[in-house]
Chains A and B, each alone.
Chain A
């Protein structure tokens, strides 16, 4: 049996090639994303290992802050630990975030991935950096900078460098006292900027007092292991601190970075799974058709006494081999592409870190094989069962395969579709708990239902489409061919439907959101928007100094200005709430036409706040409610004084301006400006931009510019989704190609016949093309209906939550998808159609 199935495999290698390609692509996608992130991680791990090269032990606070006070190490505590037996040298770290240098010529901010800002007392005990020229900073007006920083900011030793420090609120000029570099003559570790302030000055700026450190690193004397030193230092640890070996620190730092990559990897994996799912349909069809074509051979085997299990086994063995071969090739492809993309990424962002080589983790190998083999085995299972049920007598006669009834499938499909639709409708019509979950479940059921109903839908829909494309006799024959096996047509079409569903759902939601925002924003009396940098999450230390807005309010034509302080580090009623805002609600009310639902808006006194109606409903709060609000580490009782109507533009809790005192810094993250009729907005934008030029990363624009920027983000997201679905779409294309090729082999004699009675080559090409286009467009239409429906349902749910106001169908996109489907059909048909057209007529007629 095994021998028979192996021989069969070789004979069908061409037909199986496409199944293998499908696996290669989806496994390649998966393993590629894993190799990419593993390789990237290894590269960064190498970087951190360099940084911590001389660190034997590092002492860190167990938590960042305690009761709002930052946990710091005192000079005395550092001194005590440096006396521990075995410590060679000790170094206390002082560092700050959000520090940005400016370029000397243009006055623009230096653009780099990160800027490291630290304090130094002129010694670098652990020898990470070395002085190249000049001197260490000795006063509050001096800095030493890395050679890379000097290059980026275009300054030399002795010149002035403008630097923004969030704690100061305004940029300040420093004299460059010296240039430093890293060991090995490197200007930077990874393209970053490095600014070293005088120690005491840095401590005062970053921590508000002298003689304190964020953490401390120690090197070990010869013969003392890192573990041993860690134990000894642990005995001397101050409360609230922990000790880690240098290796542990490296791992910790790599993990922080790794977590960021893992989100990226999860997204890629999701799309790889979608691609694999699409592959299931291709492989299912391949095996199904192969089994159908082999039914005589299988029946013969059965007649000769092969058991049920042997027949199933022989088909499953083929599947295993196909899966294994596909997974192996996919893994190789993934490793190559993953490593290549990693190369491009790192060189693209100017990371000067040395590569650690291609990393192929055991997990990547394991998952690749699991996916490849699982997918084929699932796909081949039903055909295998079918193969085993071929009655032995079938060997004796010409096998006639009657159209199998679709009743069972249709009933099952309805059993999914109807409850699915009900679940989708439920949260849209009535307010129920867990509405998102119900909606998602409903959409899932609808999707499965439509998939199961697709063979039943194929006949009427394809016939209807046939009127459009089935011109001439060749076209008619093509339409008939696509109708002759609705299951096969449907299964092939589904592979395209999956991708189209996702894309069109995303397009519908995006389009609705864009239009809602456009409509909503048009209602307001806001002309200019100031936005903080998007490099770091807002907490009061990124953005602009609100005093700048006072200057803006002096500009001609400006009627109103508002500064919004925003922090992601807060909690509302005991639950973390990223996005607390503090602003003058009276101005906000004017600008954003906020509608009072309950209580009052207007100027708030300290410890007062207002929220939108959805949040109020969600939490069950009424006006007068006392609510605990935490900002950073400070928790206070606030009184809810008003509830306003949520709009797509303004929602969430707004705190009294006094709350800013609790923020990590006094910088405002967003600003809004209204102007009187007839004011030159462009000129005003330019003036505001000039005022804001001192604050790094702050952008200024008029409303339409921001809307455009916003739309671009959505368009980008949509493009990214489409791009990531590319592999799934290519597999769908291969699926159509595959089905056509196999059908053509199956219909060889028919082709010979129609050619003999006068159908031209061109007509044969058209016949195959029509079939292909019909399959593709059918799949596309199924996807569009389900996708747009899902998108509309999701949009409706977002409308209920006041995130948007209207549902808009993305017509241009939808038309583009149909056109693409037609092109897909044409592409997929090329090879099969030419094959069919160039069949030798006589051979075809005589074909067994």
Chain B
């Protein structure tokens, strides 16, 4: 089975000379289709950078990125836009919604941008799963943080992208709303075969995933399959030495 997304020996260097920061040092990763992958690691280890490179939001300095069969590396802005529109869904930590649109319009926005008609059945499934049926006509400002994040999840799912990328989607939520979101993401993988890549700091969040990839100082340092929260925490402790290691 081919990977939903793939990074091959990806390097990412910011700045030049004195100010040079190497965020990724030859990362190779295959994101399995229909699986929930979590990326963990200490702050500054390059999690977000890796995700942005995989999602076509940022260019790589060296190496290659593919989504499905499509080569991401080397695409023009227009090509990247098209790729994001058709193959990728996003959930950010915050500020996911357009304040001028209702919840429903926000959910359907990627489809509208692509000029695609929503699949009614799927759409109903999605909003029922996230439990938003009675909030659809509300504006983001009338929704709680947890509800906003659920709308963002629904939006990412609505177009059934190849991969959904989520950067700390529960980072701004209390544990209860966070758990809602995570179990929702879990269900969409298990029941509907959606591929999700999630960056997180939280061992508990990572335990929802099928696989956890650990980054340290721009490299993949380890990984866990079918993790539990305890296993993740143990792994973090054992990896602690590499955290913040000087260049």
Contact across chains for B95 and A756 when beta carbons are under 8 A apart: no
Q: How far is the CA of A400 from the CA of B96 in the complex (A)?
A: 16
Interface residues of A in 749-769 (CB under 8 A from B): 749-750, 753-761, 763
Asked whether A753 lies within 8 Å of B96 as measured between CB atoms, the reply is: yes
B114 touches A758 (CB 8 A): yes
Tell me, yes or no, whether B1 is within 8 Å of chain A by CB: no
Question: Could you tell me if B109 and A473 are in contact, using CB atoms closer than 8 angstroms?
Answer: yes
Instruction: Tell me which of A27-35, A406-414, A476-484 binds B.
Output: A476-484
Q: Can you list, as one digit per residue, whether each of B88-119 has a CB less than 8 Å from chain A (1) or not (0)?
A: 11101001111111000000011011110000
Say whether, besides A757-B90, A758-B113, A484 and B100 are in contact (CB < 8 Å).
yes
- Contact (Cβ within 8 A) A757 B84: yes
B81 at the interface (CB under 8 A from A): yes
Instruction: Annotate B59-79 by CB proximity to A: 1 below 8 A, 0 otherwise.
Output: 000000000000000000110
- Contacts A842-B57, A845-B92 given: A400-B112 contact, CB under 8 Å? no
In the complex, whether B138 has a CB less than 8 A from a CB of chain A is: no
* B124 beta carbon closer than 8 Å to chain A: no
B99 → chain A, closest Cβ, in Å? Answer: 7
* A20 contacts partner chain B, Cβ-Cβ < 8 Å: no
Q: A480-B101, A483-B100, A761-B78 are in contact. Are A753 and B141 (CB under 8 A)?
A: no
- Distance between Cα atoms of A262 and B112 in the complex (Å): 61
Is A176 engaged at the interface, CB distance under 8 Å to the other chain? no
Q: How far is the CA of A763 from the CA of B77 in the complex (A)?
A: 13
The closest CB in chain B to the CB of A761 belongs to: B77
Q: Nearest chain A CB to B106's CB is how many angstroms away?
A: 10
Q: A654 contacts the other chain (Cβ, under 8 Å)?
A: no
**Contact indicator B90/A756 (Cβ below 8 Å):** yes
Q: Are B113 and A763 in contact (CB under 8 A)?
A: yes
Find A473's partner among B77, B95, B115, B155 (CB 8 Å cutoff): B115
Q: Does A841 contact B (CB under 8 A)?
A: yes
Instruction: Bits for A632-644, please: 1 = Cβ < 8 Å to B, else 0.
Output: 0000000000000
Q: Is the CB of B141 within 8 A of A400?
A: yes
CB pair A756–B84 under 8 Å, yes or no, is yes
Closest to A480 in B: B100
Closest Cβ of chain A: how far from B242's Cβ, in Å?
26
B135 at the interface (CB under 8 A from A): no
| CA–CA, A749 and B92, complex, Å | 11
Tell yes or no: B82 within 8 A of A by CB: yes
Sorting the interface of chain B by its residue count into under 10, 10 to 19, 20 to 34 or 35 or more gives 20 to 34
Q: Which B residues are in CB contact (< 8 Å) with A753?
A: 92, 95-98
Please encode chain A, from 828 to 840, with 1 for each CB lying within 8 Å of some chain B CB and 0 for all others: 0000000000000
Asked if A842 and B58 sit within 8 Å, CB to CB, the answer is: yes
Give, as a whole number of angstroms, the nearest-CB distance from B65 to chain A: 15
Expressed in whole angstroms, the Cα–Cα distance for A758 and B58 within the complex equals: 14
In the complex, which residues of chain B have a beta carbon less than 8 angstroms from the beta carbon of A402? 141
Chain A residue nearest to B58 (CB atoms) is A842
Closest to B84 in A: A758
B113's contact among A400, A481, A757, A761, by CB below 8 Å, is which? A757
- What is the bound-complex CA distance between A757 and B80, given in angstroms? 11
Tell me the complex Cα distance, A755–B82, Å.
Answer: 10
> Cβ of B81: which chain A residues have Cβ within 8 Å of it?
755, 758-761
Q: Write the chain B residue with the least CB distance to A756.
A: B90
Whether B86 is near chain A, meaning CB under 8 Å from some CB there, is yes
Given the complex of chains A and B, what is the CA–CA distance between A473 and B101 in angstroms? 12
Q: How far is the CB of B97 from the nearest CB of chain A, in Å?
A: 8
**Chain B residues with CB below 8 A from A483, complex form:** 100
With a cutoff of 8 Å between Cβ atoms, the chain B residues found around residue A841 in the complex are: 57
C-alpha spacing A217/B77, complex, angstroms: 85
Tell me which residues from 369 to 404 in chain A have a Cβ below 8 Å from any Cβ of chain B: 400, 402
Cα separation A758 to B96 with both chains bound (whole Å): 14
Residue of B nearest to A479 (CB): B100
Question: Would you call B52 an interface residue if the criterion is a C-beta within 8 Å of the partner chain's C-beta atoms?
Answer: yes
Residues of A near B109 (CB, < 8 A) are 473, 754, 757
- With contact pairs A757-B90, A760-B78 given, residues A484 and B99 touching in the complex (Cβ less than 8 Å): yes
Q: Could you tell me the distance in whole angstroms from the C-beta of A808 to the nearest C-beta in chain B?
A: 42
Q: Does B201 make an interface contact (CB < 8 A)?
A: no
Give the interface size class of chain A.
20 to 34
From A472, which residue of chain B is reached at the shortest CB distance? B115
Residues of B within 8 A of A472 (CB): 115
| A750 near B98: Cβ-Cβ < 8 Å | yes
CB proximity to B under 8 Å, residues A228-243: none
Once bound together, how far apart are the Cα atoms of A433 and B78, in whole Å?
69
- The interface residues of chain A lying within 8 Å CB-to-CB of B88 are 758
Cβ of B85 within 8 Å of any chain A Cβ, yes or no, is yes
Shortest distance from the beta carbon of A835 to any chain B beta carbon, whole Å? 15
A467-492 CB contact bits vs B (8 Å, 1 = yes)? 00000110011001101100000000
From B89, B97, B112, name the one whose CB has the most chain A CB atoms within 10 angstroms: B112
With a cutoff of 8 Å between Cβ atoms, the chain A residues found around residue B155 in the complex are 757
Contact in complex: B98, A477 (CB < 8 Å): yes
Query: Would you give the shortest CB distance from B159 to chain A, in whole angstroms?
Result: 9
Residue pair A473, B100 in contact (C-beta under 8 Å):
no
Q: Is the CB of A757 within 8 A of B92?
A: no
Question: A755: which B residues are within 8 A, CB to CB?
Answer: 81
Q: How far is the CA of A484 from the CA of B139 in the complex (A)?
A: 12
The answer on a CB contact under 8 Å between A477 and B58 is no
A759, B77: Cα distance in complex, Å: 11
- Complex contact B112–A473 (CB within 8 A): yes
Q: Which chain A residues lie closer than 8 Å to B90 at the CB level?
A: 756-757
CA distance A483 to B85 in the complex (A): 26
Q: Name B184-227 residues within 8 Å CB distance of A.
A: none
A454 to B145, CA, bound (A): 35
A842 contact set on B, CB distance < 8 A: 52, 57-58
Shortest C-beta distance, A739 to chain B (Å), equals 16
**Cβ contacts A761-790/B at 8 Å (1 or 0 each):** 101000000000000000000000000000
CA distance A756 to B78 in the complex (A): 12
- B84 partner residues in chain A, CB cutoff 8 A: 756-758
Contacts of A476 in B (CB 8 A): 112
Query: Within B4-36, which residues are at the interface with A (CB < 8 Å)?
Result: none
Residues of chain B lying within 8 A (CB to CB) of residue A845: 92, 95
Separation of A756 and B96 alpha carbons in the complex (Å): 10
Residues on the A chain within 8 Å of B113, using CB: 473, 754, 757-759, 763
CB distance from B196 to the nearest CB of A (A): 16
Closest to A749 in B: B95
Give A766 to B115 CA distance when docked, in angstroms.
16
A contact residues around B58 at 8 Å (CB): 842
Residue on B nearest A762 in the bound complex, by CB: B78
Q: Are B110 and A757 in contact (CB under 8 A)?
A: yes
- A845 to B152 CA separation, bound complex (whole angstroms): 15
Q: Mark B110-145, 1 if CB is under 8 A from A, else 0.
A: 101111000000000000000000000000010000
Complex-state Cα separation, A842 to B98, whole angstroms: 17
How many Å from the CB of A806 to the closest CB on chain B?
A: 47
CA of A845 to CA of B95 in the docked complex: distance in angstroms? 8
User: Which of A400, A480, A763 has the most chain B CB within a 10 Å cutoff?
Assistant: A480
What chain B residues lie within 8 Å of A758 (beta carbons)? 81-82, 84-86, 88, 110, 113-114
Chain A residue numbers with a CB within 8 Å of B99 are: 484, 750
Nearest residue (CB) in B for A754 is B98
CB proximity to B under 8 Å, residues A797-848: 841-842, 845
Min distance, Cβ B161 to any Cβ of chain A, angstroms: 10
Q: Which of A332-361 contact B (CB under 8 A)?
A: none
* B95 adjacent to A757 (CB under 8 Å): no
- Docked complex: A707-765 residues within 8 A CB-CB of B: 749-750, 753-761, 763
Beyond contacts A477-B100, A484-B100, A757-B113: 15 other A-B pairs, Cβ-Cβ < 8 A, are A400-B141, A473-B115, A477-B98, A480-B98, A480-B100, A483-B100, A750-B98, A757-B89, A758-B113, A758-B114, A760-B78, A760-B85, A761-B81, A842-B57, A842-B58
Please give me the 7 A-B residue pairs with the lowest Cβ-Cβ distance, nearest first. Answer: A758-B85, A480-B100, A473-B112, A760-B81, A758-B84, A757-B110, A473-B113
What are 6 residue pairs bridging A and B, where the CB atoms are less than 8 Å apart in the complex?
A472-B115, A473-B112, A480-B101, A758-B82, A759-B81, A845-B92
Task: Point out residues on A near B: beta carbons under 8 Å.
Answer: 400, 402, 472-473, 476-477, 480-481, 483-484, 749-750, 753-761, 763, 841-842, 845
